[in-house]
Amino acid sequence: MPELPEVEVCRLGITPHIINQTVTAVIVRNGKLRWPIPDAVNLLVEQQVLAINRRSKYLMLRFDTGTLLLHLGMSGTIRIIDADTPVAKHDHFDLVFTNKKALRLNDPRRFGAVLWLAEHQDEQGFLAKLGPEPLSDDFSHGYLFAKAKKRTVPIKTFLMNNQVVVGVGNIYANEALFKAGILPTTKAGSLSKKRFDQLTDIIKQVLAAAIEQGGTTLKDFTQPDGRPGYFVQELMVYGRAGQKCLVCTTELEEIRQGGRSSVFCSQCQKT
């Protein structure tokens, strides 16, 4: 599943190709994504891309009359290709631009989304429930500690709640908790401010490192068969259940939390 670093690298990758370009055609081949692609997207013809932003895992293409939201869901990829590139299976949506390039969304499982927020619609309303961006100054020392007060939910589940902080998906939650020495089952409200502040710094580091690594794959966004991969190359715990801890050689354990896999070292991580 594309996580925040993949989406941010996608944003960085596509921006130079479509910023200030004007849409010449909108092609919907299969509008049955997680939600139906609205007819309003056809109004984008002759409109210019003014900016490409990201909020959580939504890419936001700004136009004069509103914002196009793109979400990659479970399996979506976005590429910038020559507009006449032959269509492949699962290529559901194209935005074609004056420079004869197209932004093409491919999504085999169709949990992705293409949504339109008109200028007068309340964007903040749509995204209001989302917590702060992990790499922003809003996510700083003291924030998690205050947010977790009296919460008995496990810290892993707490971190993956988009209303607490966005973009800390399963891989990054596992890795950050290992690096912070915190067992994933620890009650969120029981952690000290100091440990929360360390965890905050580590989450920022883990995500920033993933984005940096992803930068090396930017060329994939302009290749017809490009499949941007995942960027966390040096995983300490995620996907390593039953293998030895890379720090202390204890066998890593795995449990399920909220239907997701949590892998941890019972020696390196404490409540």
Residue 6 known to be catalytic: no
**Cβ proximity to Zn ion, 98 vs 250, nearer residue:** 250
Between CA 59 and CA 44 the distance in angstroms is: 16
Q: How many residues in total does the chain contain?
A: 271
From 55, 57, 79, 240, active-site residue: 57
Contact 140, 170 (CB under 8 A): no
Q: 3, 6, 8, 133: which one is catalytic?
A: 3
Q: Which residues contact 19 (CB under 8 A, 6 or more apart)?
A: 49, 51, 52
Residue 232 CB, shortest distance to Zn ion, in Å, is 18
Query: Which one among 45, 88, 118, 248 touches Zn ion, defined by CB under 5 A?
Result: 248
- The answer to whether 147 is a known catalytic residue is no
Span of 76-84, 144-152, 167-175, 259-267 interacting with Zn ion by CB under 5 A:
259-267
Q: Does 245 bind Zn ion (CB under 5 A)?
A: yes
Instruction: Out of 119, 212, 247, 251, name the contact with Zn ion by CB under 5 A.
Output: 247
3 is catalytic: yes
CB of 264 to Zn ion, least distance (A): 9
Residues 203-242 vs Zn ion: string with x where CB under 5 A?
----------------------------------------
Question: Interface with Zn ion includes 267 (CB under 5 A)?
Answer: yes
Query: Among 110, 151, 204, 260, which one carries the catalytic annotation?
Result: 260
Q: Which string of DSSP letters, residue by residue, matches the chain?
A: ---HHHHHHHHHHHHHHHTT-BEEEEEES--BSSSBPPGGGGGGTT-B--EEEEETTEEEEEETTEEEEEE-TTT-EEEEEETTSPP-TTEEEEEEETTSEEEEEE-TT---EEEEEETTS-HHHHHTT----TTSTTS-TTHHHHHHTT--SBHHHHHT-TTTSSS--HHHHHHHHHHHTB-TTSBGGGS-HHHHHHHHHHHHHHHHHHHHHHGGGGGGGGSTT--------S-SSTT-TTSBPTTT-PBPEEEEETTEEEEE-TTT-B-
User: Cβ 245 to Zn ion, closest distance in Å?
Assistant: 3
Binding segment (CB under 5 A) for Zn ion, from list 94-102, 174-182, 228-236, 261-269: 261-269
Binding flag, residue 181, Zn ion (CB under 5 A): no
- Give yes or no: 240 in active site: no
Sole window of 24-32, 55-63, 77-85, 248-256 interacting with Zn ion (rule: CB under 5 A): 248-256
Binding part of the chain for Zn ion, among 8-16, 73-81, 217-225, 245-253 by CB under 5 A, reads: 245-253
For the bound state, the minimum distance from the C-beta of residue 52 to Zn ion, rounded and expressed in Å, comes to: 41
Contact, 166 vs 206, CB < 8 A? Answer: no
Residues serving a catalytic function are: 2-3, 57, 260
Give me the residues that bind Zn ion (CB under 5 A), please: 245, 247-248, 250, 265, 267-268
